[in-house]
Structure 1
Amino acid sequence: MDIKLEIFVTVAEKQSFSRAAEEHHMTQPAVSQYIRQLEEQIGSRLLERTNKYVRLNQAGEIIYHHAKEILALYTKMQNLVDDLAHKASGPLSIGASYTFGEYVLPRIIANMKQTYPDIQPTVTIGNTKTVAELVASHQLDIGVVEGTFHDAKLIVEDFAEDAMVIVCASTHPLANEMEAVDLKDLEQETWIVRELGSGTRAAMDNLFAKHGVFPTALMNFSSTQPIKESVEAGLGISLLSHWSLKKELKSGDLKVLPVIGLPYLRKFSIVTSTPFQTKALEVFIDVLRTNKLLTTLN
């Protein structure tokens, strides 16, 4: 691995030569020497340095962005070689969009760890767009996201189905509605929604476009939990995955509205950026494909 790039990334992230020296168990002059060598190799200064701060300049931002990708590829390359002689083990960086990451993934990882205790997963939760970008730049080994999309840099595989329903508080005037209602009849309700870029927001936008619905009021949140709490508090209604609603529906805090044409079905997708996979990644993908948790909508 290129030690100069590794040290440069640490200096950039720690914003300190001394803290980078501690991180790499070397002296501060040694860190400074590696940075000078990298700057000479690149032919440009990469850092702005004063007695008060160390920060990236414009050239440094470019090098930092690509250094992260290069270091991630070094790690993946080493893991692939190690796998030739060893069983599934080692680090596995997983990205997941909020619904899958918060409500489904923990149990899948727990199941995997029972059989493969030497795999060391780390999880990054973000919206679909963010996770896909991190996979494309090799900062994550795999992403599990909601919805279907196309990206030339990514290998996308649909592997499970998700059912989305419209929910309201148990005290909402519509909570005891017995007959199915038309989605257009909910146009005047306040909709509690995810931010643009999320798979849940994309599903809602697709559903509205399909039925020609134009809500008069939207309230945005960046994750599912505050949406559920806002709906429960009576602030409005929302379209959410059935996976995220199990506890609230069981307790009776939220009610599913009987809406014509629902549930709305979407896909959970696996996204990777290379056909070359470590054994740890192969195992995780196999667990995703075969996990009984994902074979039923009940």
Structure 2
Amino acid sequence: MDQQLRVFVTVADRQNFSRAAEELHMTQPAVSQYILSLERMIGTKLLERSNKYVRLNKAGEIVYHHAREILGLHTRMQSLVDDLMNTPSGRLTIGASYTYGEYVLPHVVAGMRQHYPAITPTITIHNSTVIAEQVANRQLDVGIVEGEYVDEKMCIEPFADDRMYLIVSPQHHLAGKEKITHADLEEETWIVREEGSGTREAAEKMFRQLEIMPSKRMEFGSTQVIKESVEAGLGITLLSYWAIRKERKLGTLVTLKVQGTPVTRNFSLLTKTNEFHTKALDIFMDLIRNHVPEGAHT
């Protein structure tokens, strides 16, 4: 059955029996026999043939769509069995939100590469919404997202807390001030991430909790640009400790003491529900669960 489907898909892709036979290292009569056998089993013709072309008919389009899916599942099944019997290896596609992806994930991946050099990771960094969509569409094996995320078709596993602080430059008029009111914060220019970002979600949640509605905002799609802007004195922001710990040590950014802060949120591992995991994926997820960045809860 698998060979019949493989031959059928190749003929459909190449639109030619001779080219399909060449690719499959088979004779043209053998290819024709496989197609006839499949058509007899399905109970109808699947291809329109002429001297110039070979095309799928309506029934052929249905069989072609499902044949590709069946062949893909067969390949994945074989990979999982091979993986079970051998050393962890192969490609692993990982997605992460900007905060975790830029400031923590490189250290996890470095450790994995040191102990499991046969695993080849491919990293995608984007905001949490995009990462979740790519996991759902099977473009990624696993995602790491920020904040609150709910989807019954996804397996969502919180694995770490993140503390987020109000940040200003050392020269800012609020820096070092003992008592900062909510009215003070509302008057400031806030530098925020774009919609869909976990950091933006946390900031909006904080605004609601503090019952403030800042009217002056600047929106950037990069945490690094936000840090540079705050250092330059353009405004105030809310960022993860993981993103600003180096600047705090250097004294180029300082945190404000405000009631209701720091804001706490989760980082979560995201995978498709009821999907089999390769050894490589299980190893990576264990490394993530056990990795605690230095000073993460300071």
Instruction: Output the TM-score relative to the length of structure 2.
Output: 0.76
Counterpart residue number, 1:95: 95
Distance apart, 1:176 and its partner CA: 2.7
Whether the 8 Å contact between 1:4 and 1:38 is mirrored in structure 2 is no
- Structure 1 gap ranges (5+): 10-23, 25-34, 44-62
Code of the aligned partner of 2:160: A
* Aligned-partner Cα distance in 2 for 1:189–1:5: 61
Code of the aligned partner of 1:233: A
Counterpart residue number, 2:181: 182
How much is the aligned-residue C-alpha RMSD, in angstroms? 3.2
SS of 1:229's equivalent in the other structure is helix
* Aligned-partner Cα distance in 1 for 2:228–2:190: 13
Change (3 A) 1:290 1:191: same
Counterpart residue number, 2:234: 235
Whether the 8 Å contact between 2:242 and 2:296 is mirrored in structure 1 is no
- 1:197 equivalent to 2:216? Answer no
Counterpart residue number, 2:293: 293
SS of 2:242's equivalent in the other structure is helix
Within the candidate set 61, 70, 73, 1:42 is matched to 61
* Aligned-partner Cα distance in 1 for 2:219–2:107: 28
* Aligned-partner Cα distance in 1 for 2:129–2:266: 15
Q: Deviations over 1:196-249 (max 9, x none)?
A: 111001111111111211001111111201111111111111000000001211
Whether the 8 Å contact between 2:174 and 2:180 is mirrored in structure 1 is no
- Structure 2 gap ranges (5+): 14-22, 24-52
* Aligned-partner Cα distance in 1 for 2:68–2:211: 44
Counterpart residue number, 1:151: 151
Distance apart, 1:3 and its partner CA: 9.3
Computing the radius of gyration over CA atoms, which structure comes out larger, 1 or 2? 2
Change (3 A) 1:180 1:107: farther
* Aligned-partner Cα distance in 1 for 2:255–2:190: 14
Change (3 A) 1:210 1:36: farther
Moved more, 272-281 or 80-89: 80-89
* Aligned-partner Cα distance in 2 for 1:211–1:277: 42
* Aligned-partner Cα distance in 1 for 2:67–2:97: 25
Distance apart, 1:67 and its partner CA: 12
Counterpart residue number, 2:120: 120
Q: Deviations over 1:148-176 (max 9, x none)?
A: 21012210000000000010112211123
* Aligned-partner Cα distance in 2 for 1:71–1:263: 51
SS of 1:156's equivalent in the other structure is strand
* Aligned-partner Cα distance in 2 for 1:191–1:111: 37
Distance apart, 1:84 and its partner CA: 2.1
Change (3 A) 1:238 1:281: same
**Number of matched residues?**
253
Distance apart, 1:86 and its partner CA: 1.0
Counterpart residue number, 1:139: 139
Whether the 8 Å contact between 1:128 and 1:146 is mirrored in structure 2 is yes
Q: Deviations over 1:70-116 (max 9, x none)?
A: 99867644432221211211111000000000000000111111211
Of all paired residues, the percent bearing the same amino acid is: 49
After TM superposition, list the pairs within 5 Å mapping 1:1-298 onto structure 2.
Answer: 37=55, 41-42=60-61, 76-177=76-177, 179-275=178-274, 276-293=276-293, 296-298=296-298
